[in-house]
């Protein structure tokens, strides 16, 4: 059981409640919290290069019932509060990617017209990072893989794939990014 295991392995101990310090509740052990923010910040430095404004091209292949197409635009990224965020024209930030120091895993989150929590237990390699997990894409449930590939400090792409019934990964589309301006 979760709570039992967290107490047994020392992750949680009894301590004062944040809302009422006179009450004893389960809290994260200080030894677990020590270095938490530093480890997250260190890992997120791997994404420092992404801050700034990027042009993108979304390339979608044809299917049996639809033609191939391309879309393009701009997207701004920022690092904020332990997250890689997209930044809308009005300044609203949407959290996309973070690192969990407790599990040692990266997470990619979508909470708009599509919903998903993709994880990367393998983390960064020389070329990039791959996330996978369940995705609800505009009402359709899929097992998703998103692989980010850095080509240079000024170019990257991510490739989306879905797992089909045979268990193999099938290409969905690709997003190519070119830097327009660095973060200010």
Query: Percentage of the chain surpassing pLDDT 70?
Result: 98
The confidence band for 22, taking pLDDT boundaries of 50, 70 and 90, is very high
The pLDDT value given to residue 64: 95
Query: 3-state DSSP call for residue 3?
Result: helix
Domains, the chain, ranges and CATH?
Answer: 2-34 (no CATH), 46-182 (2.40.128.20)
Which residue reads 């409640």 in tokens?
A: 17
The pLDDT value given to residue 141: 93
Q: Is the pLDDT reported for residue 49 higher than 70?
A: yes
179, 150 contact by CB (below 8 A): no
The pLDDT value given to residue 127: 75
Burial 123-156 (b: 16+ CB within 10 A, else e): ebeeebbbbbbebebeeeebebbbbbbbeeeeeb
Per-residue pLDDT tens for 84-140? 999 999 999 999 999 999 889 999 998 887 888 999 988 888 778 999 999 998 889
Q: Is the pLDDT reported for residue 184 higher than 60?
A: no
Higher pLDDT, 107 or 183: 107
The pLDDT value given to residue 108: 95
Higher pLDDT, 12 or 121: 12
Higher pLDDT, 123 or 76: 76
Q: Give the Cα separation of 156 and 128 in Å (integer).
A: 9
What sign for the dihedral angle of Cα 6, 81, 39, 119?
A: positive
The DSSP line for 6-55 is HHHTTSEEEEE-SS-TTSEEEEE-HHHHTTHHHHHHHHHGGGGGG-EEEE
The closest alpha carbon to 85, from 70, 97, 68, 102, belongs to: 97
Q: Give the Cα separation of 145 and 162 in Å (integer).
A: 6
The pLDDT value given to residue 56: 97
The pLDDT value given to residue 162: 96
Residue 155: CA count within 13 A, CB half-sphere: 4
Q: Is the pLDDT reported for residue 153 higher than 60?
A: yes
For the chain, what is the mean pLDDT?
A: 92
């Amino acid at each position: 059981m979760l709570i039992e295991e967290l107490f047994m392995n020392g992750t949680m101990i009894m301590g004062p409640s944040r809302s009422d310090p006179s009450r004893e509740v389960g809290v994260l052990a200080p030894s677990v919290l020590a270095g938490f923010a530093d480890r997250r910040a260190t890992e997120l430095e791997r994404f420092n290069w992404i801050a700034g404004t990027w042009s993108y091209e979304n390339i979608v292949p044809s299917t049996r019932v639809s033609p191939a197409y391309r879309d393009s635009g701009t997207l701004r990224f920022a690092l904020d509060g332990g997250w890689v965020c997209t930044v809308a024209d009005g300044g609203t930030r949407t959290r996309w990617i973070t690192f969990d120091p407790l599990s040692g895993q990266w997470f990619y989150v979508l909470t708009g017209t599509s919903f998903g929590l993709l994880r990367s237990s393998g983390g960064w390699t020389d070329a990039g990072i791959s996330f996978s997990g369940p995705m609800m894409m505009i009402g359709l449930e899929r097992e998703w893989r998103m692989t980010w590939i850095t080509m240079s400090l000024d170019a990257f792409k991510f490739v989306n794939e879905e797992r089909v019934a045979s268990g193999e990964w099938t290409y969905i589309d690709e997003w190519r990014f070119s830097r327009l301006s660095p973060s200010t």
